[in-house]
Amino acid sequence: MTINAGLQGRSYPPAQSYSVGRESIREFATALKATHRAHFDVAAARELGHGDLVAPPTYAIIVAQRADAQLIGDPDSGIDFSRVVHAEQKFTHHRPIVAGDELVAELHVDTVRAMGGGAMITTRTEISTVTGDPVATTVSAILVRGEGQ
Amino acid sequence: MNFADLAIGQLIGSRSLEISRLDLVKYAGASGDFNLIHWNERFAREVELPGVIAHGMFTMGAAVQLVTDWIGDPSAIISYGTRFTKPVPVADVDGAPGAVLEVVATIGALDADASTARIDLGVTLDGQKVLVKAQVQVRVR
């Protein structure tokens, strides 16, 4: 199966919003062996001036990968998920993600580059609150390995 | 922390990061990334991997904790990016970690006008880099 070159420039509008909960932040931080109190203790987060528990720096990947799933799951994309390798990732935070946030993501396919029998695809996810305040921009490069790669 | 006390090349921390299969299961659950290559040995080998490998995002997310702890507030991290260059196979063993990463964080650049520092993370497995250009921009108050 080949990657659809026409994917470049395509956007996927925000789907269902993601509710950031305290237990989700605690579980994500625990899974990453993070121990900073602002991820676990509301009083500690408030001492630092935050409204609630603060998510770890890579938490936005949860929202970004849900957005990416729209592209990977699009039968028109030609992407075989079992051959996807994560090549690059970047997070730019416009403001911290805190418990209580209601987030939406708009996915943009910025580049599609053929590589061997596969392709390198760069996607950008603009994450904002449901009321439109920018929260984070994430950029991912995925390598879809061709046969024998 | 005083910006004037910071210097390029300064070591801000280092740690060993032990990874077990249980850690990958926990990360899969917490992140929602259930790709089979992170927990199913048979499947991982079928797709020509050396075995079950850690989520790149596990390595990226765990490595940055050195920076969070050093700066003292997770929200001081303005941006964080990396390239993933080598998979991290995690062996299925009892009583010992399945892989051990070494993480080193140093100051790579300073911007006095913006009061920001770039922290460079070195993350290696058996002496080989698994993250390349792992860079964290932090706001220093």
Confidence of residue A148 (pLDDT cuts 50, 70, 90): low
Are the beta carbons of B84 and A39 separated by less than 8 Å? no
Structural domain A5-18+59-144, CATH architecture:
Roll (3.10)
Sequence letter at residue B58 = F
Q: How far is B36 from chain A (nearest CA, A)?
A: 8
Mean pLDDT confidence for A16-28: 97
Using one digit for the tens of pLDDT, what is the confidence trace for B57-103?
A: 999 999 999 999 999 999 999 999 999 999 999 999 998 999 999 99
d(CA A6, CA A29): 38
Residues in chain A with CB shorter than 8 Å from the CB of B32 are 62, 65-66
d(CA A119, CA A144): 5
Task: Tell me the CB-side half-sphere exposure of residue A87, using CA atoms within 13 A.
Answer: 13
Query: Does B70 map to a domain?
Result: yes
Query: Does B28 map to a domain?
Result: no
Mean pLDDT confidence for A18-22: 98
CATH number at residue B111: 3.10.129.10
Query: Does B85 map to a domain?
Result: yes
For B72, which residue in chain A has the nearest alpha carbon? Answer: A36
Residues in chain A with CB shorter than 8 Å from the CB of B34 are none
Assess whether pLDDT exceeds 60 at residue A122: yes
Confidence of residue A72 (pLDDT cuts 50, 70, 90): confident
Assess whether pLDDT exceeds 90 at residue B118: yes
Are the beta carbons of B27 and A90 separated by less than 8 Å? no
How many structural domains are present in chain B?
1
Which residue range(s) make up the domain with B106? 3-19+55-139
For A58, which residue in chain B has the nearest alpha carbon? Answer: B61
Assess whether pLDDT exceeds 80 at residue A115: yes
User: What is the distance, to the nearest Å, from the Cα of residue B113 to the centroid of all Cα atoms in its chain?
Assistant: 28
Model ipTM value: 0.96
Are the beta carbons of B68 and A36 separated by less than 8 Å? yes
Query: Does B46 map to a domain?
Result: no
